[in-house]
Structure 1
Amino acid sequence: MSLKAGKRCHLSDVHTDGNTVYIYEMKLSFSGKSCTVTGCTKVVGSTYLTSVEGTIYRVVGY
């Protein structure tokens, strides 16, 4: 993904184990060489969780 400084993007992942649907979402905000993860949420079936941690494992380039 290629973004300009000061921009934001939204990442999401949806998958199922055959019985339950899992949805993970997070927002990334870019400022200079920094990236901040905000708004991490998880939906399991019909349960909405807002206290979910998001992690950035690697940044390639800046």
Structure 2
Amino acid sequence: QEACELAVERVIEKNPDWRSIQVGFIALGKNGDHGGFCIAPGFNYAIRTPDEGNRLLNSGSRI
């Protein structure tokens, strides 16, 4: 998730009207780690694991 947070901060730095846009990022690691982050609430993503099956997750947000 940390990489996604950094990416969102870069988008915010380059867009003075960042509160009027939505952008979200998802990061996946080779070992199964995952995370997501976006500007405004409402961004989610789905994962599937052998143990837990399908899951829909809400990402963290800046606002």
TM-score normalised by structure 1 residue count: 0.42
Q: Kindly indicate which of the two structures has a greater share of residues assigned to helix.
A: 2
Where relative contact order (Cα < 8 A, 6+ residues apart) is larger, the structure is 2
Structure 2 length as normaliser, TM-score?
A: 0.41
